[in-house]
Amino acid sequence: MAAREPDRRAEAVAALEAKIGYTFTDRALLDQALTHVSAENQKARPKPTYERLEFLGDRVLGLLAARHLLETWPVADENQLNTHHSALTDGPACTRAAELVGVAPAIRMGGGESQAGLRRHRSVLADVIEALLGAAFLDGGIPAASAVFERAWRDELAKPPPSKAQNNPKLALMQWAHTLKAPDPTYRVVSQTGSAHAPTFTVEASVAGYPPLTAQGRSRQDAEKAAAIGLLQREGVI
């Protein structure tokens, strides 16, 4: 007989805890961090969702990333630290962190939304991994949150410091466009999703004569920078 969905999800939650290197004492916190708003009406008594924990987790992530950078890059100036901090905490980095530790199968979600693929949507994964950081902080303080951060962000932390182009990607993209005798690059907000306190912007960057490229960020400015970097990387400029 095939395993029922609750059993498969329980296995996914156990696997997730193994990958993040932390076992929650308060199981309700873990469950809340992994519960999408679409699951609210699945039972008579609605379950708390990850949104409030995401609010906390966003701040915990910022603190842990800042501490890591100060310890790892002792000679970096403030601009370099800010650039690398943005790279560690933006939407794409959070999504990759969530994918690394296998967050998607552990999310509690309404059937329709799950079947539609929302479970693996980039913004949902980014929100849930931040909620998981917030839950770990409440459950075990900074040591617990650090354990999750170091495991989930392992690949991001191993990346080299941003290049000069990454320090100011919009300027680098504009300079490249000028070498092509093209007009200045343009940026267009494609969408804004997520909660009001932690939105995710999707922005399209364009250079005349080249296909546009879209990227996401926690602010419009971060999304524009991410799109500029992506376009420069795709065209082999950096």
Give yes or no for a contact between 135 and 32, defined as CB atoms under 8 angstroms apart: yes
- Contact status, residue 180 vs residue 209, Cβ threshold 8 Å: yes
Sheet with 198-206: strands ordered across = 186-195, 198-206, 213-217
Q: How far is CA 164 from the centre of its chain?
A: 23
In the residue annotation, 156 being an active-site residue is answered as no
Is position 31 annotated as part of the catalytic site?
Answer: no
* Long-range CB pairs of 215-223, under 8 A, 24+ apart, other chains included: 215/92, 216/90, 216/91, 216/92, 216/122, 216/123, 217/90, 217/91, 217/92, 218/58, 218/89, 218/90, 218/91, 220/189, 222/86, 222/90, 222/91, 223/91, 223/189
Rounded Cα distance between 21 and 35, Å, is 20
Interatomic CA distance for residues 208 and 193, integer angstroms: 28
Question: Catalytic pick from 54, 90, 130, 204?
Answer: 130
Active-site annotation holder among 54, 58, 139, 156 = 58
What residues are labeled active site?
58, 130
